[in-house]
């Protein structure tokens, strides 16, 4: 029984770890683009910087929402029910 509990707990961590990793990559990527726009372009590039920032935020929020939804599915036991079929 303990082995099953450990497996269940570990399976809940995986979506959270993946979401944090994706958010970190997006933050580094968008952050470097924003830094480049601000350093090189000045005011005309500010619009592009805002667009990239908004897109990065949308990706991070989407990944966080998907991870939250996956953890809820795992808490309801959908993975164990799917193993029956």
Residue with tokens 């993975």: 79
DSSP state of 1: -
User: pLDDT, tens digit, for every residue of 19-76?
Assistant: 999 999 999 998 888 788 777 766 666 777 788 889 999 999 999 999 999 888 888 8
Phi, psi of 50 (to 5 degrees): -65, -40
Dihedral, CA of residue 20, residue 21, residue 24 and residue 26, to nearest 10:
-110
Residue boundaries of the structural domains of the chain: 2-78
pTM: 0.72
Residue 34's pLDDT is what? Answer: 79
Q: Using CA atoms, how far apart are residues 64 and 12, in angstroms rounded to an integer?
A: 14
pLDDT at 24 (0 to 100): 94
SS (H, E, C) 5-41: HHHHHHHHHHHHHHHHHHHHHHHHHHHHHHHHHHHHC
Q: Return the pLDDT at 59.
A: 93
């Amino acid at each position: 029984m303990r082995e099953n509990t450990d497996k269940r707990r570990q399976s809940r961590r995986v979506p959270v770890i993946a979401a944090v990793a994706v958010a970190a990559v997006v933050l580094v990527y968008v952050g470097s683009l924003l830094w480049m726009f601000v350093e090189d372009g000045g005011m005309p590039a500010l619009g592009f910087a805002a667009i990239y920032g908004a897109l990065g935020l949308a990706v991070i929020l989407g990944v966080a929402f998907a991870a939250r939804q996956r953890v809820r599915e795992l808490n309801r036991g959908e993975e164990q029910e799917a193993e029956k079929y």
